[in-house]
């Protein structure tokens, strides 16, 4: 993957929610490619974050693609509503999708890009059958639920194996990685086969401006 083609998006989970519009504008000005919205229900993951009203506000705040990551049980109950509320991508977890094929079809029919993700302990084979149906697979490189966690090293091998599966079965499918990606490891993540990177605490950090943080991630790839 050529560095210039790598897509980078901030997870707004680490943003200052009191200044969410500004924080999205700062990321946009810094040249990010999409905005990642983490929806947590306190059941699938041990944390509660944000939902449809905030997504609607994010939708009004940016023209960039909005990438919604649903960390909720029974995602089929809400996936199409998130698409209707302005999500360009809707990602569901294979671990909580009894009818994954139907749910992904519903997302596409609602006008969003169907995307699937798996936790670090979930075998890649669980998404093999739906690979032709999705336009993005998200590899979790932390256990979902919180920003600011440490990248799990075994994710690199999973990214490499998924890259082979995607190249063989659906070569235009995006391979996104989420969790613990920083300037210090983004190169390895991309070299393993990722083309789309989510970064939360690395972009919305108290130590540097959003502009500098995005530049540091890009710089690590050049």
Q: Which two tokens stand for residue 141?
A: 């490189």
What CA–CA distances, in Å, run from 132 to 125, 128, 171, 189? 13, 8, 9, 23
Q: Roughly how many angstroms between the first and final C-alpha of the chain, as a whole number?
A: 12
Nearest distance, CB of residue 132 and ligand DX5, angstroms: 25
Stretch that binds Zn ion, among 16-24, 35-43, 108-116, 188-196 (CB under 5 A): 35-43
Question: Which residue lies nearer to Zn ion by CB, 69 or 182?
Answer: 69
Which residues, 6+ apart, have CB-to-CB distance to 41 below 8 Å? 48, 71, 72, 73
Paired strand residues for 178 = 140, 198
Q: How far apart are CA 202 and CA 131, in angstroms?
A: 30
Chain positions contacting ligand DX5, by CB under 6 A: 11, 13-14, 36, 38, 69, 142, 144-149, 178-181, 198-202
Question: Which residue lies nearer to ligand DX5 by CB, 199 or 210?
Answer: 199
Out of 26, 41, 176, 178, point to the residue binding Zn ion (CB under 5 A). 178
Nearest distance, CB of residue 88 and Zn ion, angstroms: 15
Stretch that binds Zn ion, among 22-30, 33-41, 43-51, 112-120 (CB under 5 A): 33-41
Question: Which residue lies nearer to ligand DX5 by CB, 33 or 105?
Answer: 33
Question: Which residue lies nearer to ligand DX5 by CB, 111 or 153?
Answer: 153
Nearest distance, CB of residue 158 and ligand DX5, angstroms: 16
69 lies in the site for Zn ion, by CB under 5 A: yes
| Count of residues of this chain found to bind Zn ion when the rule CB under 5 A is applied | 3
Nearest distance, CB of residue 168 and ligand DX5, angstroms: 27
Out of 24, 27, 34, 38, point to the residue binding Zn ion (CB under 5 A). 38
Catalytic center residues: 38, 178
Q: How many CB atoms sit inside 10 A of residue 189's CB?
A: 23
Laid out side by side, the sheet with 136-140 consists of 7-10, 196-199, 174-178, 136-140, 113-118, 89-93, 66-71, 35-40
Question: Which residue lies nearer to ligand DX5 by CB, 136 or 201?
Answer: 201
Q: Where are the alpha helices (DSSP H) in the chain?
A: 20-29, 52-61, 79-84, 100-109, 155-169, 186-192, 210-221
Q: How far apart are CA 63 and CA 172, in angstroms?
A: 23
Residues that bind Zn ion (CB under 5 A): 38, 69, 178
């Amino acid at each position: 993957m050529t560095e210039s083609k790598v897509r980078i998006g901030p997870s707004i989970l680490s943003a200052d929610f009191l200044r969410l519009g500004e924080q999205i504008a700062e990321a946009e000005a810094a040249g990010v490619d999409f905005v990642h919205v983490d929806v947590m229900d306190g059941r699938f993951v041990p944390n509660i974050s944000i939902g449809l009203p905030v997504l609607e506000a994010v939708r009004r705040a940016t023209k960039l693609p909005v990438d919604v990551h649903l960390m909720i049980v029974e995602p089929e109950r809400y996936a199409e509503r998130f698409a209707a509320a302005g999500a360009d991508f809707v990602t569901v977890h294979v671990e909580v999708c009894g009818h994954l094929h139907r749910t992904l079809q519903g997302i596409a029919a609602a006008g969003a890009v169907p995307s699937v993700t798996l936790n670090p302990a979930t075998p890649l084979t669980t998404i093999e059958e739906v690979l032709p149906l999705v336009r993005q697979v998200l590899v979790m490189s932390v256990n979902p639920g919180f920003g600011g966690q440490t990248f799990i090293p075994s994710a690199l091998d999973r990214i490499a194996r998924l890259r082979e599966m995607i190249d063989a079965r659906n070569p235009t499918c995006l391979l996104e990685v989420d969790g613990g990606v920083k300037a210090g490891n983004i190169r390895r993540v991309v070299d393993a086969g990722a083309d789309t990177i989510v970064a939360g605490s690395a972009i919305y950090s108290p130590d540097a401006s959003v502009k500098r943080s995005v530049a540091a991630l890009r710089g690590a790839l050049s």
